[in-house]
Structure 1
Amino acid sequence: MKIVGVGCGPGMLTKEAAGAIAGASLVYGSARAIALARDAIPPDSEVHEIADYRSLCTLPDHAVVLSTGDPMLAGLGYLPGEVVPGISSLQVASARLKVPLARVVVVSAHGKDHARAIAGAREETLAGRVVFLIADPAFDVEAFAAALPPETRLAVCEDLGYPDERIAVGTAAEPPVPRGELYVVVAGEF
């Protein structure tokens, strides 16, 4: 099986990823991942939207599983098989905000205990690191901001790589508010 990162937005499919997809006869992915890779999927491929993520490890060896962004950043890289990396939201947010990746620590709140994620992100921020927080639609940016010193810079990075990409920067005292459901939060000195 191949787990292929399709990038976090349109036009971010790497040549290696496109080649892996072009040779696929069986493709699985979320609706978003399939849409991002659509031009690389052969017309005669059998394409399935993932209905049960737990059953992915039972797919045949010739299956290609599409993962949005990069499979190793809160993606499907845990599955058995070869991983083909993709351009992640971490890379795009770091480039847009001009934050060196070596200064960044990743905290995932996506589908996780938000209070625990906020506590971990607060600790990392207080230690002087820039936090890249992977949010989900239920994540409360204001609760995160309230846990930080008021002068801490915050950025909400939405729809990275898409035509309606938006990056709003503020502080913990006046945090930016997400407009949609597809976003990450960057906190610290950047």
Structure 2
Amino acid sequence: MNHKIIVVGIGPGDPAYLLPKAQTTIENARILVGGKRALVDYSHHGVHECAVGADISGVLAFIEESLAGDDVVVMVSGDPGYFSLLDALRRTFPLEQIEVVPGISSLQLAFARLALPWHNARLLSFHGREPLTEELFRSSDAVIGMLTDGRNNSQTIAVRLLACGWRDEDIMYICTRLSYADENIITTTLGAAKMDAGIGHGVIIVCAHEENV
């Protein structure tokens, strides 16, 4: 158990948002695991790679085999603590064998772009999962930050929230391609979003209208 799994958050996408500690860890890695895009961005000469895809069990087996000879650096988008491969690693390997280098999450960047505090926000994910109905309730000061995918997008989420007591006039921010040159943030309302074409694969932040008067 001498070798470690070092889980590195690589941020929202643009390397400018990669923390120096994360960059140094990746540059010094001899075994590197990550998504295909991350490997294209951060691979270097002499590193042994494994791309993360649908076969998570295969990735875990690669990591286990590789630990016999060296540390394994696992790159995950955003921050490792928010819906990443870290969950599967914790279920598979001893906790004392896992080290985590945090990163800037897309949710964190979205709140920053809006100059909106997020200490009281409810953070959820519609990315490949379904939040519980009780997590979607509205209150006068409610703020919800959500990851989205192609199926769960601005239109479907607006309909879902309105069915949970939210109001047409409540504000929705649709944030896509965060940190990239073509970053886009749309400000709309739930009432308008339910009628518009859905936009997914990003971050949505919804605020009760009282917070925006």
Superposed, which structure 2 residues align to 1:4-23 within 5 Å? 4-10=8-14, 11-23=16-28
The size of the alignment, in residue pairs, is 182
1:121·1:131 contact (CA, 8 Å) conserved in 2?
Answer: no
1:37-48 paired onto structure 2 within 5 Å: 38=42, 41-48=43-50
Structure 2, unaligned stretches of length 5 or more? Answer: 91-97
TM-score by length of 2: 0.77
Aligned to 2:155: 142
Map of 1:54 onto structure 2: 57
Partner of 1:126 in structure 2? 139
Given candidates 178, 185, 190, the residue that maps to 2:204 is 185
Aligned equivalents of 2:197, 2:82: Cα separation in 1? 24
Which structure's CA Rg is the greater one? 2
1:3 corresponds to which of 7, 10, 34: 7
Gaps spanning 5+ residues in structure 1: where? none
Deviations 1:35-64 (A, max 9, x none): 44x2xx431101221132234444133111
2:171, 2:189 within 8 Å by CA — same for their partners in 1? yes
Aligned-residue sequence identity (percent) comes to: 27
1:172–1:49 distance in 2 versus 1, CA, 3 Å = same
* 1:30 matched residue in structure 2: 35
1:82-139 CA distance string (max 9 Å, x none) = 11111111110010011112121111111113xxx2734531x436221011111111
Contact 1:5 1:71 in 2 (8 A): yes
Superposed, 1:64-79 pairs within 5 Å as: 64-78=73-87, 79=89
Deviation >4 Å, runs of 4+: 176-179
Give the SS at the match of 1:126: coil
Partner residue of 2:186 out of 168, 174, 177: 168
Q: SS at the partner of 2:86?
A: coil
CA RMSD of aligned residues (A): 2.0
Q: Note the C-alpha offset of 1:33.
A: 2.4
Distance 1:94 1:144, change over 3 A: same
TM-score between both structures, scaled by the size of structure 1 = 0.86
Deviation at 1:178, TM superposition (A): 5.2
Provide the C-alpha distance between the structure 1 equivalents of 2:135 and 2:28, rounded to a whole number of angstroms: 41
Q: Cα gap change, 1:142/1:121 in structure 2, threshold over 3 Å: closer, same or farther?
A: farther
Kept after mapping to 2: 8 A contact 1:107/1:120: no
